[in-house]
Structures are given as C-alpha cells and as structure tokens.
Amino acid sequence: MLAALIKKELLALTRDVHGMAALFLMPVIFIVVMSLALKDVYNPPRRSLAYAVDARDTGAAAQSLATSWARDHGPALPLPADWGDQLRAGTLKYVLVLEPGLSDELVLPAFPTTARIRLLTDPGLDGNLFNALRSEAAGVAGELKARSALSQTDGAPPPPDASMQAIVRAERHAGSGPRPTAVQQNVPAWLVFGMFFVVASLAGLFVQERSTGTLARLQSLGVPRPMLLASKALPYLGVNAVQAVLMLAVGVWVMPRIGGDALSLQGIHWGALAVAVGAVSLAAIGLALVLACAVRSHAQAAAVGPILNVLMAAVGGIMVPAFVMPVAMQRLAGWSPMNWGLEALLTVLLRGGDVAATLPHVGKLVAFAALMWVVAIALFRKTSR
C-alpha cells in the first residue's frame, strides 16, 4: 500500500513541472548571483582599489611610507585637482594625505600625539575595508618608526626586506580545510533554503488532493493517516537529495567557469555530509507537512510557505551571514532551523568536521522534524474528521 501511495505522489510531482523547476533552478540562481555578489566579502580587494596620495610632506620618511604602501596596494593614481569630488562620487576609493611634519614624526623615538596621516575614503566604502586600510596605515607608519629607531642604535641596521609582519604567523586552525569564500558560504546556505522550499510544493499538492476528495477516498479505504503523510514525505527525501547533488555540482564545476571561486570538497567527511543533508531534509519535510495540514487553500499555501521560508532564511544566516549580524540577531539566528542546517553543513564543508561534530546541530534538526511530525498527525486528524 505504501509503495502504491508513493508511486502516486511521484506521478503528481512529475506533472508539476513548474514546481519542480522552481525547486531546482531557484537555489542555483541564488548560489550563482550571491556568490559572485559577495565574493569580495571574504577576500577584500584592497590591491584593486583606486587611490591617490596627497604628499604634503616630501621628506625621505614620508616618501618611504608612500613607497611601502604602493608595494602592497599597487601604484597610486595621479592626484586629480578635484579629488574631493571624485571621492564623494566613488571614482576614487581613498586618498592618503601625508601631512607636513610626517617625516619628522616618523624619526622621533616617541609615540605620536598628532595625526600626520589622514585616510579619506569614498563614503560608501565597506566598513571592513575601511578598518583594514586604517590599520594598515598605522602598521606601515609604526614599522618605519621602528626601523628609524633601530638605525640610531649601535646594532646592525635591519635588512631592507625585514618586516614586523614576520613576528606573526596567521593560519586557520583547520589548516587542511578549504579557506572561507563566498561559494563555501552560499552553496550550503542556499542548499538549505532550497530544501526548505519544498514547503510550498508539498502543501500545494496536499491542498489539491483535499479539494478533489482524493484524501477522503483514501481514508475511506482504510489507509492510516500516518501512512498517508509518510507517502507524501518520502518522495521529497529523494527530491532533496537531488537538490543537494545539483547544488554541490554547481559549486564545484559551474562557479569557477563564470568567475567565482570553486567549492572545495577535498578531504571532507562524506558520511557527515550525508547525515547533515538528511537531517536538513527531515526538518524541511516535517515543516512542510505541518503547513500542508494547516492551510485550507492554494492561496494560503502559496503565500504562507514562501513567507515563512524567507523569514527563517533572513533570521537564520542564509541571506546575510550570521557573523556580520549584531549580537542580538546572532542569538536570534540560533533559533532558526535553517541556521541549524547551515551550521551542520559548514561544519562539514568548511571546518572539516566528522559525524560527531555535526551532532549538536543534527540533533536539533531531528528533534524539530519529530515535533513537526507529531503536530502534522494531530492537525491531519483534526482536519480530516
């Protein structure tokens, strides 16, 4: 009986061409667009920013600072006469103003008390870039001041290629894993969103069968309610599995061909990935069953499902990475099932985690799916009397 019911659901899915197209194409489009749009969030393009230097101090130390800056950021553009207007218009991204007295300040063996370098930026410059440029300017000036102080001692002068940066070695703790990129974030994020989008499709088919009397006829034949719900849930497990394979394939093979970073699957724990994807699928289908049993019309299914998905995605770190959210929003994100699914996938794809590492998030997803299943059965029993 269950096999016959599942076959019926698969036939219904194959006839819903537009719904299936939305389930598969919509996440692909989001992955491509958002990965390209957010590419520089994970790799700020500091070297490609158009900048100029207003050298009001022409001393040797000030010239050394400008040379050091150009070595790391590319050559400066000629300073235009209307550079203030170009900054406001965004044609120039920033201007380094080397104030008079900078060279004298850099050779003094004391901490500065007056600003001798001004960093003037395009008003729309990203906040992270702004802070990075400001820190770099302070670091370059500090290194020149240290080099000047060392040259005044009896010791050997530092070699030209020496740098204070050698004192720090920065590396990600999961050294063998992939580095964070927009693709590493967006593929799992929109994969989760796409899997939860079965809410609208499943609810629509459920409403259709209720309105045509199909559900009533099946119940009159003695089909148990849990079996009816299971027959609707199981095909969507397969749909979600196909979605997952498609999204990962887009990240691995399509994104590098259109100018994005490639999704790295090297060294991941495939068992953990399967567990995480399965848990997300169970949670998504559980929520879909509750919505399907709660709505009464196609209009309600078409409105409530997408709105609920968008809200969970906005709160859960799908549309905007949770790490850029305020602290209060990050706490709120921890209550979204989409966030649990995203963190489970990131644990595998970005942090190199195994099955045990995914269990905290997988456990929440499975518990949520079980709760949704109980609520769906209760609602189905109530509405089918």
Domain spans of the chain? Answer: 2-41+181-383, 44-167
Q: What angle do CA 161, 162, 167 make, to 5 degrees?
A: 140
Query: Which residues are 97's β-sheet partners?
Result: 54, 118
Mean pLDDT of 167-177: 58
Contact 318, 190 (CB under 8 A): yes
Write out the H or E segment, with its range, that includes residue 96.
Answer: strand 94-98
Q: Is the pLDDT of residue 173 over 60?
A: no
Mean pLDDT of 315-341: 87
Contact 369, 289 (CB under 8 A): no
Predicted local distance difference test score (pLDDT) of residue 107: 87
How many beta carbons lie within 10 A of that of residue 86, not counting itself?
A: 19
Q: What is d(CA 91, CA 24) in angstroms, rounded to the nearest whole number?
A: 40
Amino acid code (one letter) for 89: A
Q: For 37-41, 179-183, 249-253, 332-336, which range has the lowest pLDDT when averaged over its residues?
A: 37-41
Query: What tokens does 165 get?
Result: 């940066």
Mean pLDDT of 279-298: 90
Predicted local distance difference test score (pLDDT) of residue 351: 83
Rg, C-alpha atoms of the chain? 29
Confidence at 167, pLDDT banded by 50, 70, 90: low
305 Cβ contact list (under 8 Å, min separation 6): 197, 199, 200, 203, 288, 291
Predicted local distance difference test score (pLDDT) of residue 384: 62
Residue-wise pLDDT tens digits, 179-208: 667 788 888 988 999 899 888 888 888 888
Predicted local distance difference test score (pLDDT) of residue 215: 76
Query: Which residues are 53's β-sheet partners?
Result: 96
Mean pLDDT of 94-119: 90
Predicted local distance difference test score (pLDDT) of residue 175: 47
Q: What is d(CA 178, CA 184) in angstroms, rounded to the nearest whole number?
A: 8
Q: What is d(CA 32, CA 27) in angstroms, rounded to the nearest whole number?
A: 9
> Which letter, b or e, does each residue of 226-261 get, where b requires 16 or more Cβ atoms within 10 Å of its Cβ?
eebbebbbbbbeebbeebbebbbebbeebbeeeebb
Q: What is d(CA 244, CA 256) in angstroms, rounded to the nearest whole number?
A: 18
Q: Is the pLDDT of residue 317 over 60?
A: yes
What burial class does residue 176 get, using C-beta atoms within 10 Å of its C-beta: 0-12 exposed, 13-18 middle, 19+ buried? exposed
Higher per-residue confidence, 163 vs 227: 227
Query: What tokens does 198 get?
Result: 């079965």
Q: Is the pLDDT of residue 2 over 80?
A: no
Q: Is the pLDDT of residue 309 over 80?
A: yes
> CATH topology for 44-167?
abc type-2 transporter like fold (3.40.1710)
Residue-wise pLDDT tens digits, 238-267: 999 999 999 999 989 998 888 888 888 888
Confidence at 228, pLDDT banded by 50, 70, 90: confident
Q: Is the pLDDT of residue 218 over 80?
A: no
Nearest to 342 by CA among 235, 213, 186: 186
Q: Is the pLDDT of residue 20 over 80?
A: no
Predicted local distance difference test score (pLDDT) of residue 385: 59
Q: What is the sign of the dihedral through the CA atoms of 243, 244, 250 and 251?
A: positive
Predicted local distance difference test score (pLDDT) of residue 163: 65
DSSP state of 316: T
The average confidence (pLDDT) of the chain is 84
Q: Kindly write down the DSSP assignment for every residue of 240-289, as one continuous string.
A: HHHHHHHHHHIIIIIGGGGTSPPPP-TT--HHHHHHHHHHHHHHHHHHHH
Mean pLDDT of 142-159: 77
Q: Is the pLDDT of residue 301 over 90?
A: no
Share of the chain above pLDDT 90, in %: 34
117-121 vs 94-98, strand pairing mode: antiparallel
Predicted local distance difference test score (pLDDT) of residue 160: 66
Predicted local distance difference test score (pLDDT) of residue 272: 95
Predicted local distance difference test score (pLDDT) of residue 191: 92
Q: What is d(CA 103, CA 116) in angstroms, rounded to the nearest whole number?
A: 9
How many beta carbons lie within 10 A of that of residue 57, not counting itself?
A: 22
128 Cβ contact list (under 8 Å, min separation 6): 41, 44
Q: What is d(CA 342, CA 240) in angstroms, rounded to the nearest whole number?
A: 15
Predicted local distance difference test score (pLDDT) of residue 370: 95
Query: Which residues are 119's β-sheet partners?
Result: 96
